[in-house]
């Protein structure tokens, strides 16, 4: 029986958001003093800070053992098939089922929403993308679509063999996508995921370059379901809390799993430089203590929303010159994406709530425990003690 069926539209929607499920308030990384890098985030600190990008999510918590969902990312609100965006993809470890990856790599473009879900739901995700794309006005004659679907395996907390996700869930996620705040944690495609031995999920972050560096925006959204030794902005949180891969070389806990990183920018980049940008998102992943284990599928996809580089039908019909940021100007964007990727991962953990799977005849009970915020605060305070305040003068001003 369906107990909760939540469609998360940004931070709103039907049913509880990740921050409402438990008594303890969840927090973002910046709320506890973890702010990687040098650049400032956008106003939402989200992938939707990149103008035009939309995110929609469907969360399925059903009965004793369905804990899964869908997250859809739209590069813009128009006809994606007709107005394709340049893109690049990087595979850090290929233990995954990333639909559409070869064509993105070959042609350097994306023509559909990007959908994230669980491993056994890739097929209905493709069907949902096809249903939505083929019914768009202007697409009546198309006979080939490269649906882009990433996945991670949520089979510990979710009865993945039930294949609860259907094409209608995917269409709902796409059609409810908005450009506002994005729900994070145990929602959408992150409902049943685990990371570093704790509950993982959906996380996002952004960076804005100063005008002197172009003023470009970069946003990252992640689906975390991988392992290693959790490090937060250089602080060894996993070691301090006694939960990490290969602890004392005796524990054989797995670090397998996957992570998908979706990168958006408004910088006018070619698919070649978007591939380079995706590589730098993996650098942000490495900073979190990822093990990049044998059974992990680690993928990064980057696209540009800049109007000048959009591959419209008119531009595809003739020889066209596209604007392109010079190679020498890309370094600040590379720094920004690694910062945003790193922070998005932390947000996926800190915003996630505990998710439990009840025992059934098919499998025993399982629990994805939320990262203890109070414990993390103590670790941060230990490694970054507050600076002593300067004494006040008689007039109450700092000397």
Catalytic residue list: 258, 296, 298
User: Using the 8-state DSSP alphabet, how is residue 176 labeled?
Assistant: T
Which stretches within the chain are classed as H helix? 101-107, 122-134, 167-175, 237-240, 271-287, 313-316, 331-350, 373-383
Q: For residue 99, which phi and psi values (nearest 5 degrees)?
A: -70, 140
Buried-state track 126-145, b at ≥16 Cβ within 10 A, e below 16: bbbbbebbeeeeeeeeeeeb
Can you tell me whether residue 244 is helix, strand or coil? coil
Strands (E) located in the chain: 4-9, 12-14, 54-62, 66-74, 85-94, 109-110, 114-118, 148-152, 194-195, 198-199, 202-208, 217-225, 257-265, 296-304, 355-357, 366-368
Q: 105 CB contacts (<8 Å, ≥6 apart)?
A: 88, 89, 275
Q: Which of 147, 152, 109 is nearest to 131 (CA)?
A: 147
Q: What is the DSSP string of 193-207?
A: -EETTEE--EEEEEE
- Residue found by looking up tokens 């106003």 in the block: 43
Distance CA 25, CA 39 (A): 27
Please write down the HEC assignment for all residues of 279-296.
HHHHHHHHHCCECCCCCE
- Residue found by looking up tokens 């370059």 in the block: 209
Which two tokens mark 353?
């709530």
Q: For residue 56, which phi and psi values (nearest 5 degrees)?
A: -130, 150
Sheet holding 202-208: strands in order across?
109-110, 85-94, 296-304, 257-265, 217-225, 202-208
Which two tokens mark 78?
């128009």
Distance CA 193, CA 201 (A): 6
């Amino acid at each position: 029986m369906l107990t909760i069926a939540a469609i998360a539209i940004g931070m709103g929607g039907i049913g509880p958001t990740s921050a409402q499920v438990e008594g303890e308030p969840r927090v973002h990384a910046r709320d506890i003093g973890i702010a990687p890098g040098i650049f400032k985030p956008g106003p939402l600190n989200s992938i939707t800070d990149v103008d035009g990008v939309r995110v929609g999510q469907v969360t399925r918590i059903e009965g004793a053992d369905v804990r899964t969902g869908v997250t859809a990312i739209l590069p813009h609100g128009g006809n994606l098939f007709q107005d394709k965006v340049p893109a690049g993809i990087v595979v850090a470890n290929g233990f995954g089922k990333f639909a559409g990856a070869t064509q993105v790599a070959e042609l350097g473009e994306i023509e559909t929403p990007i959908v994230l879900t669980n491993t056994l739901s890739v097929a209905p995700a493709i069907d949902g993308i096809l249903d939505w794309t083929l019914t768009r006005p202007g697409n009546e004659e198309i006979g080939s679509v490269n649906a882009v679907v990433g996945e991670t395996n949520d089979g510990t907390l979710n009865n993945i063999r039930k294949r609860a996700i259907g094409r209608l869930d995917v269409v709902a996620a796409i059609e409810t996508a908005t450009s506002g705040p994005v729900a994070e944690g145990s929602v959408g495609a992150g409902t049943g995921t685990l990371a570093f031995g704790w509950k993982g999920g959906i996380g996002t972050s952004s960076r804005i370059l100063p005008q002197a560096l172009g003023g470009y925006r970069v946003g990252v959204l992640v689906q975390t379901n991988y392992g290693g030794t959790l490090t937060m902005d250089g602080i060894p949180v996993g070691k301090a809390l006694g939960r990490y891969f290969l602890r004392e070389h005796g524990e054989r806990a797995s670090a397998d799993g996957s992570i998908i990183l979706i990168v958006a920018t408004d910088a006018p980049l070619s698919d070649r430089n978007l591939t380079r940008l995706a590589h730098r998102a993996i650098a942000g992943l490495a900073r979190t203590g990822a093990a990049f284990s044998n059974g992990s599928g680690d993928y990064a996809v980057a696209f540009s929303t800049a109007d000048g580089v959009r591959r419209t039908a008119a531009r595809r019909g003739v020889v066209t010159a596209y604007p392109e940021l010079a190679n020498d100007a890309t370094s600040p964007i590379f720094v920004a994406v690694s910062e945003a990727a790193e922070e998005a991962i932390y947000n996926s953990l800190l915003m996630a709530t505990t998710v439990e799977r009840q025992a059934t005849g098919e499998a025993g009970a399982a629990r994805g425990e939320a990262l203890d915020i109070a414990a993390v605060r103590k670790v941060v305070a230990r490694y970054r003690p507050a600076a002593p305040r300067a004494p006040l003068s008689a007039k109450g001003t700092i000397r």
